[in-house]
Amino acid sequence: MALSTPPVRGHARGAILDAADALFYRDGIRSTSIDAVADEAGVTKRTLYHHFESKDDLVAAYLERRDEPTRVAFAAQAAAAADGPAARILAVFDVLARFFATSDCRGCAFLNAASECASDSRVRRTAIAHKDATEAWFREQLAAAGSREPEAYAAMLMLVLDGALARSLLYPGGRQVRAAREAATIIVREAGVAIPRVA
């Protein structure tokens, strides 16, 4: 028993998080019940509550688990698509275009959660940490590209990125992301960074 329990537990926890991730993102947090998550994960509610004290706890775990992989995937895809920091910044918007084109895209999990659970300070904190880390990445790329005031321009790039993410819930992604890429180009150029031509 002592030997078999940990892996089973581990498996249940992962299955619950996978189910929560799929349902919270697709249907929203408030409209997804704990019962629906347990069902989807193939566990009892009792097992779910063994792993997560409350729905708030599960929501926070859902967001925390999305934070790093989302940022790493974006940064890696941008790096693969572009040479040098300035091109990498703009490539983020190409990655975004591909993301918007996926049929199950529902915009940004963190902005959506913040909008649904505004009074939940843990949700807010997790979303802020995600956005701060994304902004830090922009700042680093800007600084590496020789930008003046990388902090100020990174803040502007975040507005454009989050504007595109928020608006993707309303409009098909194509036009938004082209406008976002153009706005980002203007901002990067204004920061004193030369944008290399695509070879």
Judged by beta carbon, residue 15 or residue 59, the one nearer a second copy is 59
Candidates 39-47, 56-64, 81-89, 176-184: pick the segment binding a second copy (CB under 8 A).
176-184
Cα–Cα nearest to 99, from 122, 73, 125: 73
Judged by beta carbon, residue 81 or residue 185, the one nearer a second copy is 185
Half-sphere exposure of 86 (CA within 13 A, CB side): 18
Cα–Cα nearest to 12, from 37, 33, 31: 37
The single residue among 21, 116, 140, 143 that binds a second copy, judged by CB under 8 A, is 116
Whether 131 contacts 162, CB under 8 Å: yes
Cα–Cα nearest to 122, from 192, 53, 35: 53
Q: What letter does residue 107 receive in the DSSP assignment?
A: S
Interface of this chain with a second copy, residues 5 to 44, rule: CB under 8 A: 27-28, 30-31
Judged by beta carbon, residue 28 or residue 84, the one nearer a second copy is 28
115 lines the binding site for a second copy (CB under 8 A): yes
Judged by beta carbon, residue 70 or residue 115, the one nearer a second copy is 115
